[in-house]
Structure 1
Amino acid sequence: MERPQHITRVVLVGITWLLSMQSGFSQHAYRDSIYKAYSRGKMDKWYTIMHGCEAQVDANKVEEQIELLNYYYGYTAWLVGAEKYDTAETYIDKSEELIEKLLEESPENATLLAYKGAYLAFEIGISSLKAIFLGPKSMKYINKSIELDPENIQGNIEKGNSMFYRPSAFGGDKMEAIAYYIKAIESFEKQGLVVNNWLYINTLTALGQAYEATDQIQSAKLCYEKIIRIFPNFMWVEDELYPDLLERHKL
């Protein structure tokens, strides 16, 4: 089974989930289907759903295009984590083309700027040699996102990812990453963006991993238990991360 744990650049999004019910495109339906695929680690299903969305998206509706970008983002993160680099490059190119198009129309859209920073980070994930020149560019867009909207979900997730994965010698700080993940999670919850939302659960999982990485074991345990309580069929946490944590720390 292909597990979803490689979607670690969490993920995560200042998208307003507008429930568009017009013919051919229902964001609610796509969101639920994507969540089900993610929770069971079925990235082949994710691919099929994503391309169904791609075929139906209205090029004149920004919210539909951002919805599609969300799916590209999750799939690209998985591809990079699974070291499927050639395919990842294809989706990086598609996504960056879409981001640039949307930024021409909305140059100060905080979510799009955070995505731009995220895709530069994906390129670093494919080739660490690019970090020296792409790293600062990625952070410029992520920081700009948060400057424009301190509560932006995607901006806070990407800032958390940057702090978590960047070496401490280059400014990484896992404790600081935790603060950004928590802020993103609080925004999800305040805005009611938690039901069948793959990005919310992915961000919670990133928080649990960050707690464990900083030896906050009880906090990690509580975080994983929250996930199991709210999302009882999320295989990555229920079958792997949580039992592994209990075994490692004799809990």
Structure 2
Amino acid sequence: MERKNHIILSILAILLAFSFQESRAESRDSLFFEWYTTTNMEPWKSTMEQMAAERTPDNYNQLFEVVLAWYGYIGYCLGNDKEEEAEQYLETGWKFLDELIEMNPTNAAPHALKSGFYGFEMALARYKALILGPRSVSTLKTAASIDSTNIHYLVEKGNQMYYMPSMLGGDKEIALHHYKHAVELMISDSRYHQRHWFYLNTLVTLGYSYQSTEHIKEARKTYQKIQRIAPNFKWFNEEVWPKFVEKYGTF
């Protein structure tokens, strides 16, 4: 009887610990969403550093969340003339990413993120494109060979097709297809719910892609969806939507 009770208590303890971790992750997602939409990135930075310091060794999911937070912060730095800080965090981000790939080399997402990290490197030093460009393409092919329906593969493949010159194979329509597929998968994915910053970021990218390929009706619908999900999205409300309305109107 005592042994049975001990087993039951052990199972309950595991379930409670798992429930606590899930709740904590959801709470952190809400915070990152708020910081992303308000462009309040100082707490983002301190929180991701805390996540890195407190992670459990060999915990793949925790390390993945760290790498994704680094990915978001580096992208923010590059978009806001903070190249020195981007370079600093890219250096540490590479270490986490390499560890993540070593931990689970058969998962497509880290390989796709690696392609994105190469993109960050090229944004910091354009002259490295001849060397890093093929590496970025190669690691994305690795991701595709593992799982061509992985959300991160689709996003990074979209980025590759969107920004690559057409003479080298770039195609914004193909990019649009990949972004659209990524968003469709996110809708049914428990990790990237509508109030997750990465979902919102991808939705903005999809809207831009529709707009740049002259699918204005679809762009407007996507932007209006963003307004419903994040009505207080500072950057979107101050930059993206006003410029779109000025050119194309609200209806």
TM-score range, shorter chain: 0.7 to 0.9
Question: Alpha-carbon deviation of 1:51?
Answer: 2.1
| 1:10-58 deviation digits (Å, cap 9, x = unpaired) | xxxxxxxxx76249x9222221111110011111221122223223221
Could you tell me whether the CA contact under 8 Å between 1:37 and 1:45 is conserved in 2? yes
User: Aligned partners of 1:29 and 1:248: how far apart in 2?
Assistant: 38
> Relative to structure 2, which stretch is displaced further, 52-61 or 163-172?
52-61
Aligned pairs for 1:113-128 (under 5 A) are 113-128=111-126
Letter in 2 for 1:210: S
User: Aligned partners of 2:37 and 2:212: how far apart in 1?
Assistant: 23
Unaligned runs of 5+ in 1: 1-18
Secondary structure of the residue aligned to 2:231 is: coil
Question: Alpha-carbon deviation of 1:129?
Answer: 1.0
User: Aligned partners of 2:230 and 2:64: how far apart in 1?
Assistant: 25
User: Aligned partners of 1:22 and 1:118: how far apart in 2?
Assistant: 28
Aligned pairs for 1:196-215 (under 5 A) are 196-215=195-214
Secondary structure of the residue aligned to 1:26 is: helix
Could you tell me whether the CA contact under 8 Å between 2:161 and 2:170 is conserved in 1? yes
Aligned pairs for 1:38-77 (under 5 A) are 38-77=36-75
| Percent identity (aligned) | 31
Question: Alpha-carbon deviation of 1:105?
Answer: 2.5
User: Aligned partners of 2:71 and 2:147: how far apart in 1?
Assistant: 20
Aligned pairs for 1:197-236 (under 5 A) are 197-236=196-235
What's the counterpart of residue 144 of structure 2? 146
Larger-gyration structure (1/2): 2
- TM-score, normalised to structure 2, is 0.86
Aligned pairs for 1:1-251 (under 5 A) are 21-22=20-21, 26-192=24-190, 193-251=192-250
Question: Alpha-carbon deviation of 1:111?
Answer: 0.7
Size of the alignment, in residue pairs? 232
Letter in 1 for 2:247: R
Secondary structure of the residue aligned to 1:157 is: helix
Letter in 2 for 1:227: I
User: Aligned partners of 1:103 and 1:238: how far apart in 2?
Assistant: 37
Question: Alpha-carbon deviation of 1:86?
Answer: 1.9
| 1:46-89 deviation digits (Å, cap 9, x = unpaired) | 11222232232212211001011110000011112223222212
User: Aligned partners of 1:206 and 1:22: how far apart in 2?
Assistant: 30
User: Aligned partners of 1:93 and 1:109: how far apart in 2?
Assistant: 22
User: Aligned partners of 1:100 and 1:230: how far apart in 2?
Assistant: 34
| 1:117-174 deviation digits (Å, cap 9, x = unpaired) | 1111110111111111111110111122122112211111011111111221222111
User: Aligned partners of 1:128 and 1:169: how far apart in 2?
Assistant: 18
Could you tell me whether the CA contact under 8 Å between 2:154 and 2:181 is conserved in 1? yes
Unaligned runs of 5+ in 2: 1-17
Letter in 1 for 2:60: V
Report the structure, 1 or 2, having the larger helix content: 2
Could you tell me whether the CA contact under 8 Å between 2:194 and 2:200 is conserved in 1? no
Letter in 1 for 2:47: I
> Relative to structure 2, which stretch is displaced further, 114-123 or 101-110?
101-110
Name which structure has the greater RCO, CA cutoff 8 Å, separation 6+: 1
Detail structure 1 runs of 4+ shifted over 4 Å in the superposition: none
